[in-house]
Structure 1
């Protein structure tokens, strides 16, 4: 099966070059674009205050990350979870940029940009000119948003996993190949011997038109 990892970060701000840091990382393992249930998630001490403007977006305060591990302490486990799989994120350049800055601070190489799969780019291709943030995509695909009151990284990953499946056409909602035999029996065709077959009347013009249509078919299978 094809493995990928879908991930999200929450940060103290918008620009790692201005000293903003990662405060939360969440990642979900996918096989053939579907979640396996394996998850990586941690809050991180950013070694600086979290501005109130940022806290209003993701709901994480400086008190929430007090005593949490610093990025250097979780980097090896995060990279092990990533493995060599493609990395899926929404507006992926943002998350890659922040993680690369964190890796750079501890002397580790940046992530390979060739591994990046950006669901925002996929959404813009499919829905050009339309809102394509995570909330808008969830509403468009009828994915339940009631639990999303802030930008929690783990919840965002779970929602994005559903969005990604829809964007890639990996699953049809409600289509279950494992339906039990009793359910399948409900749709099984049964011949009703009590019914009287009814012949469909075809006039001469319809018969001629059908014959002409069939004659135009090149190498029909019934003549092989």
Structure 2
């Protein structure tokens, strides 16, 4: 089973699909064992309707700008190929998935199963009950620089969420995959490096040089 996951975020024309609101931007960032692989998917979309005043204040995408973008039906296959077989990591997943599934339904595609989604908002609720758990609040808690987030933009939000996600699982350092360590170590950046178990022993000359170094540079040798 793949260890790759997709950090996903959307921007929309408004809050509720029942009011006819549509997606205007999708951002996806691939990670493997919590480490970004540098693979991304990003697009602006023509929602074929006006952006609400409230949504415009959030992301700043004008009707004129969006009218020149592709429609969801034109990018759906590329999008589905990018996320295929991977878990989706989303902050407030119910919102994003409801909008994505609405677009998929209109494009005559299968909906995304919520079982394939990890909601960092729900994780945060359980970990920090009663605390602020917005993306900005979590960035502040984990001392993640979110100064670039002047407006909500999908890829920047994905980058921030990827860092929050690591901290939510207390993964302070990148994870190394040590399965089959006699073959390779996977570093999560699409490069497999050979893992060598060979032990190189120092020669007699190496040992003599080391002793000379200790006598020359250390007044007292604490290791002898």
TM-score normalised by structure 2 residue count: 0.76
Task: Give the superposed CA RMSD.
Answer: 2.1
1:37-116 to 2 correspondence within 5 Å?
37-116=38-117
Q: Which runs of 5+ in 1 are unaligned?
A: 174-189, 197-224
Q: Deviations over 1:110-164 (max 9, x none)?
A: 1011101001111111111100000000011011111111111111001101101
Tell me which residue corresponds to 2:197: none
Runs of 4 or more consecutive aligned structure 1 residues displaced over 3 Å after TM superposition: 190-193
Give the Å deviation of 1:193.
5.6
1:119-138 to 2 correspondence within 5 Å?
119-138=120-139
Give the Å deviation of 1:172.
3.5
Tell me which residue corresponds to 2:210: none
Distance in structure 2 (CA, Å) of the matches to 1:194 and 1:9:
64
Distance in structure 2 (CA, Å) of the matches to 1:168 and 1:154:
21
Give the Å deviation of 1:194.
2.7
Q: Which of the pair has more CA radius of gyration?
A: 1
Distance in structure 2 (CA, Å) of the matches to 1:33 and 1:84:
17
Aligned residues: 182
User: Is 1:194 the equivalent of 2:220?
Assistant: yes
Distance in structure 1 (CA, Å) of the matches to 2:142 and 2:64:
36
1:179-218 to 2 correspondence within 5 Å?
194=220
Tell me which residue corresponds to 2:33: 32
Tell me which residue corresponds to 1:153: 154
The 8 Å contact of residues 10 and 24 in structure 2, kept in 1 or not, is answered as: yes
Q: Which runs of 5+ in 2 are unaligned?
A: 175-213
Tell me which residue corresponds to 2:181: none
Q: Deviations over 1:54-96 (max 9, x none)?
A: 1001111112212100010111100000011001000011111
The 8 Å contact of residues 6 and 28 in structure 2, kept in 1 or not, is answered as: yes
Give the Å deviation of 1:195.
7.6
The 8 Å contact of residues 45 and 65 in structure 1, kept in 2 or not, is answered as: yes
The 8 Å contact of residues 48 and 67 in structure 2, kept in 1 or not, is answered as: no
TM-score normalised by structure 1 residue count: 0.76
Q: Deviations over 1:161-216 (max 9, x none)?
A: 1101111222349xxxxxxxxxxxxxxxx8966389xxxxxxxxxxxxxxxxxxxx
Give the Å deviation of 1:31.
0.3
Counterpart secondary structure, 1:35: strand
Distance in structure 2 (CA, Å) of the matches to 1:153 and 1:59:
12
Counterpart secondary structure, 2:25: strand
Give the Å deviation of 1:52.
2.1
